[in-house]
Structure 1
Amino acid sequence: MDVVIPCYNYAHFLPTCVRSVLDQPGVDVRVLVIDDTSSDNTPEVMAELMAADKRVEGYRHEVNKGHIATYNEGLLDWATADYTVLLSADDLLAPGALQRAAAVFEQNPSVGMVYGRVVYYSDHDALPKITQLPVTSKVWRGEDWIENRFRSSRNVISSPEVVVRTKIQQKVGGYRADLPHAGDLEMWLRIAAVSDIGYVSGKPGAYYRVHENSMMRTTFKSVFADLEQRRDVFDLVLAENPGLPGRLRAMARKAIAGDALWRAVRLHDRNQLDGTEQELLEFARETYPELETLPEYKALQRRKKFSPEFLNKTQLFLAPHAYKRVKLWVGTQKWKWRGEQ
């Protein structure tokens, strides 16, 4: 397997990331580190890694090209193995992840992408403890997987847990520079349009680092960018794949509108009304004109009957959700306990 590791000012994470690849059992790996003109000591660290293991290759850009161009450079111009992984320098592969993905590919020639469970963490030296469960796998027809994504309108993949059949990756092309907030989602859908999709459960595929500069920590500006680009992605997928059912468009737009409305609901609950809630409402109406039928819209209208101060103080509408969260937590603990026996 070929693993592409773009690196920009992440020299302190790079050795652990590369080691998580080199220590994968049961598969032959090759690593390419691409230094996108880092200002830290990435060149020195990269040189040490290359000297220590011949499976590690690396080079440095003369000028910064940005993450999209760097991704595509490795995936499309360098990768030659049967399967390819794109791994950020601050993320990690889980032990055995590549072998588990390879098994799904080998048993299912129609599968173009395999992903798995991802574990979120913040410290390489204190990875979260995980429950050890039997490994199982599942394969969806590409069109079924696409419909599931339209139904929820959400990206269920973080990225480092993905392994792609190289010939499929190079067939569909690279990441789109015009979709910085939803490029991953568009890529997964593009792959699903030409192949089936596999999933490995039980053990994680990767560890994804959450940090202060992570896109997971979003401002309202980036929230709108995410909502808008997700909407654009689903429209684009339908335009480029006319064989997909037209009903999927309304399905995705309904879900995206519901997401926007629920964000407005939460602003009411937290007494954070600064006009953003109205923008979210307008976005939802533009996206799905029949938004009055959505439960999120009705929840928003209920909240408007009370002052934001009252809602924030009493948490009136949070009680049912808190009860559900408690039930879920209790059930999860029982499930974990049973799984560890």
Structure 2
Amino acid sequence: MNKPKVSVCVPTYNYASFLPEAIDSVLKQTFYDFEILIVDDCSCDKTQDLLKEYARRDKRIRFKINSVNIGMVNNWNLCLTEARGEYIKLVFADDLLSSHEALEKMVSLLDGDPDIALVGSARNLIDEQSRVIKVLAHFKGSVVLPGTTVINRCLSEQKNLVGEPSVVMFRKRDAERGFMSQYEQIVDLEMWFYLLEKGKFAFIDEPLSSFRIHSAQQTQKNTKSFTALEDIFLLYDQYMKKHYITINAFHKKYIRYDNIYRIWKMYTTKQISKEHAIEEIDARFGHTQFLLLYPFYKIYKPFLKGYRKLRYGS
């Protein structure tokens, strides 16, 4: 059997209501040399019936059903392992491709430059009824940038400037390590950093994908817990000391304080207790030092936000 150029990987769990729209958006592509690999993590809705029907209708569709639930990150990694294509295009079951030329444009960039490790694009933010809320883009125009430049910007601005998994395409061989299971909330961003250490980032200034916001998302649930902060601390500990990081010492200290301040904000928004907040701040930074630096932080942060808006428009 000939291997497809692209494996469109669709990890899913109990998303039967969204899955047809995701699959149909891939089947409408102008680029045809792909397989759709759907890995179902032991759903208890009508997902399996849908998969059988779609696979019957189109031979490019194949699926795997896990006998037990293996969890989000393990399911993503199973997609990577089972994929047969040279390139990986993730399309989550609750997301979709918003342009018929999405695959064609991304493949063209990877084919045209072997030094490109990751391709992303602008994306639509949509609601449960697929209505566009807004378009997200963190780069000015279509650009190709050194991967480490993008890592520096993400760390400096404290944002995932690349986007969600459904936004990107990359080479399977570059991602053989898989997603890191110790991350839960920003597991995608850590993978983007890993890939960007290998080569360049190509950004297409056109919304090729749509990312859906809804209450059932696992990552949305995680943002309401301490998980997101734990991931941020882990990511910064792992990458901030890399040899290619150009962030100056003062800004590194600001970023660290700002991340610590998020713990206090979780207390003020009643997500954790005051005792828990103080305990975490004291262990990670020092409660007294945190209080002493607080006035300077509140003065500096608005100036920094204004500078970023002028420079990057974000």
**Would you call these one fold, judging by a TM-score over 0.5?**
yes
- Checking the alignment, whether the CA contact within 8 Å between 1:264 and 1:280 is kept in structure 2 is no
CA distance in 2, matches of 1:108, 1:66: 35
Runs of 4+ in 1 over 6 A off after TM superposition: 265-268, 270-273
One-letter amino acid of the counterpart of residue 174, structure 2: I
Q: What secondary structure does 1:213 align onto?
A: coil
For residues 198 and 81 of structure 1, the distance between their equivalents in structure 2, rounded to whole angstroms, comes to 20
Q: How much does 1:118 deviate?
A: 2.0
| Structure 2 residue 34 is the aligned partner of structure 1 residue 34 | no
The answer to whether the 8 Å contact 1:238/1:249 transfers is no
After TM superposition, the score normalised by the length of structure 1 is 0.73
**Other structure's SS at 1:190 match:** helix
Q: TM-score, normalised by structure 2?
A: 0.78
Aligned to 2:212: 209
Q: Alignment partner for residue 80 of structure 1, among 84, 92, 109? A: 84
Residue 258 of structure 2: aligned partner: 258
Contact 2:266-2:272 at 8 Å conserved across structures: no
How many Å separate the matches in 1 of 2:222 and 2:191? 24
Instruction: Specify the code of the residue in structure 1 equivalent to 2:213.
Output: V
Q: Are the aligned partners of 2:77 and 2:179 in contact in 1 as well (CA < 8 Å)?
A: yes
CA change 1:62–1:262 in 2 (3 A) is closer
- Against the structure 1 CA distance between its residues 119 and 125, is the aligned structure 2 distance closer, same or farther, given a 3 Å change threshold? closer
Aligned mate of 2:67, from 42, 46, 62: 62
% identical equivalent positions: 24
Give SS of 1:258's match.
Answer: helix
Q: Offset at 1:149?
A: 1.8
Separation of aligned partners in 2, 1:296 and 1:159: 37
Structure 2: which amino acid aligns with 1:91? Answer: D
Q: Which residue does the alignment assign to 1:312?
A: none
1:187-220 residue CA offsets vs partner (Å, 9 max, x unmatched): 111111111111111x213111111133564578
What 5-or-longer segments of structure 2 have no aligned partner? 1-5
Give 1:106-255 correspondences, 5 Å limit.
Answer: 106-128=111-133, 136-156=141-161, 157-170=163-176, 173-201=177-205, 203-215=206-218, 217=220, 222=225, 224-237=226-239, 243-245=243-245, 251-252=251-252, 254-255=254-255
- Offset at 1:103? 2.4
Seen in structure 2, the aligned counterparts of structure 1 residues 252 and 200 have a Cα distance that, compared at 3 Å, is farther
Deviation at 1:244, TM superposition (A): 3.1
| Mapped partners of 1:150, 1:48: distance in 2 | 44
From the superposition, tell whether residues 81 and 16 of structure 1 become closer, same or farther in structure 2 (CA, over 3 Å): same
SS at match of 1:116: strand
- Size of the alignment, in residue pairs? 293
1:107/1:78 CA distance change after superposition, 3 Å: same
Q: Identify the residue that residue 71 of structure 1 maps to in structure 2.
A: 76
Measured on the aligned residues, the alpha-carbon RMSD in Å equals 3.6
Give the structure 1 partner of residue 3 of structure 2.
none
Deviations 1:137-180 (A, max 9, x none): 2111122122112212322222210111222122xx10111111
Which has the greater radius of gyration? 1
**CA shift digits 1:82-107 (9 cap, x unpaired):** 21112211111121222222222233
List aligned pairs for 1:312-327, cutoff 5 A.
Answer: none
Match of 1:315 in 2: none
